[in-house]
Chains A and B, each alone.
Chain A
Amino acid sequence: MSEPIIDIRNLSHRYKSHQALGGVSFTVGRQSIHGFVGPNGAGKTTTLKVLATLLRPQTGGSVSVFGRDIVRERQEVRRKIGFMPDHFSMYRQMTVFEYLDFFGAAYGLGQAERERIIKDVLALTDMAGRKDDLINGLSRGMQQRVSLARVLVHDPDLLLLDEPASGLDPRARIELMEILEELRRLGKTIFISSHILSELATLCDHVTILDRGVVKYTGTMRGLMTGGEGTLSSYHLTLAAEHPATADALAKLPGVQRILPPLPNDPKYAITFDRAQVSLNTILQTALAAGAQIVSCAEDVKQLNQAFMDLTEPGVRS
Chain B
Amino acid sequence: MSSPLLALFGRSLREDTRLKMTYFARVGLVFVILLFLASTSSAFGWGNAPGLRFFGTVVFINFSFILLAGFSHFASAITEEKEEMTLGLLRMTNLNALSILLGKSTSRVVNALLLLAAQFPFTLLAISLGGVATRQVLAAYCTLGAFIIFVANLALLGSVVCRRSTGAAVFTGVTLFAFFAGVPFIRWVAMLPTYFGIVKTPGEWVVALNLCADAVGVASPINRLSQILSTGFAEGPLGAQVWSNLALGTACFLFAWALFEIFCSEQQEASQPRSLLVRRTSRLRAFGAGRAWPAALAWKDFHFLTGGKVWLVIKLSAYALPTALFYAAQMRWNPRPRWNELGYFTLSIAGMILAIELAFIAASVLRHERRWKTLSSLAMLPMSMRRIAYQKILGCLPSLVPAATYIVVGLIVVSDEFPRMPPPRWEPGAVIALAYAFTQGVLFLHVTATFSLYLRRGGLPAAIAAHFVGNMLVGIVMAAAREESVLVVMTVLCIVLTGVLHVHIGRRLETLAEEE
Which A positions have Cβ atoms within 8 angstroms of B? 49, 52-55, 75-76, 78-79, 81-83, 85, 87-95, 97-98, 101-108, 111, 114, 132, 134, 136, 150
Contact = CB atoms under 8 A, between A and B. Distances in A.
15 contacts: A49-B514, A90-B372, A91-B374, A94-B304, A98-B280, A101-B292, A102-B292, A102-B300, A103-B296, A105-B292, A105-B293, A105-B299, A106-B296, A106-B383, A132-B280
B504 interface: no
Nearest to A137: B271
A52 B380 contact: yes
Interface in B239-295: 271-275, 277, 279-281, 289, 291-294
Interface of B: 271-275, 277, 279-281, 289, 291-294, 296-297, 299-300, 304, 372-383, 513-514, 516
Nearest to A74: B382
Contacts of A92: 271-272, 372
Contacts of B373: 87-89
Contacts of B279: 95, 132, 134
B300 A107 contact: no
Given A91-B372, A94-B304, A111-B291, A102 B381 contact: no
Given A85-B516, A87-B516, A89-B516, A104 B292 contact: yes
A119 to B, nearest CB: 14
B297 A106 contact: yes
Given A93-B277, A132-B279, A132-B281, 6 more contacts: A94-B304, A101-B291, A102-B296, A102-B300, A105-B296, A134-B279
Contacts of B304: 91, 93-94
Given A54-B376, A54-B513, A55-B514, A91 B291 contact: no
A54 B271 contact: no
A85 B380 CA distance: 11
B199 to A, nearest CB: 51
A-B pairs, 4 with minimum CB distance: A105-B296, A105-B292, A106-B296, A93-B274
Nearest to B304: A93
B294 A105 contact: yes
If over half of B's interface residues share one DSSP class (helix, strand or loop), that class is named, otherwise mixed; here it is: loop
Contact of B377 (A53, A89, A94, A111): A89
B183 to A, nearest CB: 37
Contact of B271 (A49, A108, A132, A136): A136
B273 A93 contact: yes
Q: Which of B277, B296, B304 has the most CB of A within 10 A?
A: B296
Contacts of B516: 85, 87, 89
B382 A78 contact: yes
Contacts of B275: 93
Nearest to A136: B271
Contacts of B372: 89-92
A85 B381 contact: no
B382 A54 contact: no
Nearest to B368: A91
Contacts of A102: 292, 296, 299-300
Nearest to A94: B304
Contact of A54 (B281, B374, B379): B379
A93 B271 contact: yes
Nearest to A81: B380
Q: Which of B277, B297, B380, B514 has the most CB of A within 10 A?
A: B380
B374 A89 contact: yes
Nearest to A154: B382
A154 B378 CA distance: 14
Nearest to B275: A93
Q: Which of A54, A85, A108, A134 has the most CB of B within 10 A?
A: A54
Nearest to A92: B272
Nearest to A90: B374
A98 B289 CA distance: 8
A91 B300 contact: yes
A19 to B, nearest CB: 17
B167 to A, nearest CB: 16
Contacts of B374: 89-91
B385 to A, nearest CB: 11
B394 to A, nearest CB: 13
B280 A78 contact: no
A51 B300 CA distance: 27
Nearest to B272: A93
Contacts of B280: 95, 97-98, 132
Contact of A75 (B292, B378, B383): B383
B372 to A, nearest CB: 7
Contacts of A114: 291-292
A85 B372 CA distance: 13
Contacts of B379: 54
A70 to B, nearest CB: 12
Contacts of B296: 102-106
Contacts of B292: 98, 101-102, 104-106, 114
A48 to B, nearest CB: 11
Nearest to A106: B296
A316 to B, nearest CB: 22
A152 to B, nearest CB: 13
Contacts of A53: 380
Contacts of B300: 91, 102
Q: Which of B274, B375, B377, B383 has the most CB of A within 10 A?
A: B377
B514 A54 contact: yes
A101 B292 CA distance: 6
Nearest to B374: A89
Contacts of A97: 280
A255 B514 CA distance: 52
A107 B292 CA distance: 11
Contacts of A108: 294, 382
A54 B373 CA distance: 14
Contacts of A98: 280, 289, 292
Contacts of B294: 105, 108
